[in-house]
Amino acid sequence: MAKVLGKGLGAIIRTHNADVNPQSTNYDLDIKKIIPNSNQPRQNFNTKAMEALVHSIKEQGILQPLAVRKINKNSYELIAGERRLRAAQNIGLKTVPVYIIKIDNESEMMELALIENIQRDDLNAIEEAEGYAILSGKYNFTQEKIAQKVSKSRPEIANKLRLLKLPPIIQESLRNNEIDYGHARALLSFRESKIILKIFKQIINKKLNVRQTELAVKSFKNEKKLILPIKKYNNIKKILTQFLETQVSIKINANNSGKVIINFSNHKELEKVILLITKDNHE
């Protein structure tokens, strides 16, 4: 059962004794007594997935109990099972099976509820990031502590949190599953919003997959390294050409190193160039 529930909820049940044994008959609770969880990171619910869940519950009932905690005689706060609760309400069920978790500490309950929701595999990347942000900002969790709580690496937590720095239109696209986490990670290699939005438009218009997006980002970086310095030194090239009265070219490498090439057609022109360059030393 613990595997079905997910390690987050399984840990809650083991750590915070429930009114029912996980292996025993579930307790049926009046659905009207259940209030939503204020720390639910999920904002969007896939319509097709919800329809499938509603159909499954109609056919087989709720196989996986919701987790709640008692607030008072007529009120229980949801810890885990938002989708199942919504589906049950859609069907018109009067009661739902639950585990009643005994947690007295308000802060700890919220932390556990949030972590349980974050650990669900189908949680959207941006919603997951928002969950981490709440743990960090509201409960002062370090990235290391968040990683430990949700059994993920610290770099992954850091990368997910960075998603919240993306322009709002890209965050919304992530939320609506128009782009994937891989797309967003590729975009995070830039700091300038203008560039990020430019590549994002390419992703949407050309329907680029993650690999194609990574290649587009790499190509843009190489183009930027090679083209921008040339533009920068065009003015210098013009000044040198006028001063030396001969054709001058500047070649720039990817690491911004390079060379200046001075052209001459005969020995007399070479002497003239040398004289101009060393003019101050001969005076």
Q: Using CA atoms, how far apart are residues 117 and 134, in angstroms rounded to an integer?
A: 12
| Highest-pLDDT range among 6-10, 49-53, 184-188, 236-240 | 184-188
pLDDT digits (tens, 9 = 90+) for 21-73: 444 345 788 999 998 876 665 666 667 777 888 888 888 888 888 888 888 88
pLDDT bucket at 3, cuts 50 / 70 / 90: very low
User: Catalytic: 192?
Assistant: no
Pick from 211, 194, 213: which is nearest to 203 by CA? 213
Cα dist from 65 to 10, 26, 214, 234, 256, whole Å: 12, 7, 42, 69, 62
Sign of the four-CA dihedral 238, 241, 247, 253: negative
Find tokens 């183009």 and name the residue.
Answer: 223
Q: Using CA atoms, how far apart are residues 234 and 236, in angstroms rounded to an integer?
A: 5
DSSP conformation class of 31:
G
Indicate the domain borders of the chain: 1-119, 232-282
pLDDT digits (tens, 9 = 90+) for 109-137: 666 766 766 666 567 888 888 888 888 88
Looking from the CA of 43 toward its CB, the CA atoms found within 13 Å total 14
Strand pairing of 27-30 and 95-100? antiparallel
* Range of lowest pLDDT (21-25, 226-230, 248-252, 275-279): 21-25
Catalytic residue among 51, 59, 77, 82: 82
Give the class (CATH, top level) of 1-119.
alpha beta
